[in-house]
Structure 1
Amino acid sequence: SQTMTLGDLFASYDPISQAGKAQELAEAMRGVDQFNWGYDPYHFNVPEGSYSSNPEGVTRIKEMRAMNMALHQVGLRVALDVVYN
């Protein structure tokens, strides 16, 4: 039986000799597995589309801004953590 996890597979790629293999696998699985970890690697600084009511166009940006404003209005502060791979 196969016991390798997806994380194990990604970790198995050598970052020098197999540069880009992890990104190729992620792209190949994009339509099957929703594991973008909350960010979109092609459109940095915008939330991943599955968190929006409409992932096309600027809706996801407007909803993110509205959410941040609502959180600020109730006294919570928001920090945007951006991961650049």
Structure 2
Amino acid sequence: MRIKEELKKSGYFWLPENENKKIPGTLSILDGGKIELEVVGLFDESIETLDGNYDLRRVIGHVEKDGFVTLEDCFYKSKNIAFGGISKSELC
């Protein structure tokens, strides 16, 4: 995918099985088709997901001006777990 400028869109994102837990984030699409999602928090904060590479099959989002998006075969690039603070995570 060739784009002239990096696209950045703010929105809310969630897992299909947990539509009631929407978390804010920023979707970035870079030249070459690389897609990154930075979210405030984690999609699943259970103890099992803190221990390993929790891959996400599908993430649904609603972004400014463009509406709904679906991201397939996502994985955490980094997880920041702040107990009692603000967690920020990156997905590809």
Report the TM-score when normalising by structure 2.
Answer: 0.22
Report the TM-score when normalising by structure 1.
Answer: 0.23
Q: Which has the higher helix share?
A: 1
- Which structure's CA Rg is the greater one? 1
Q: Which has the higher strand share?
A: 2
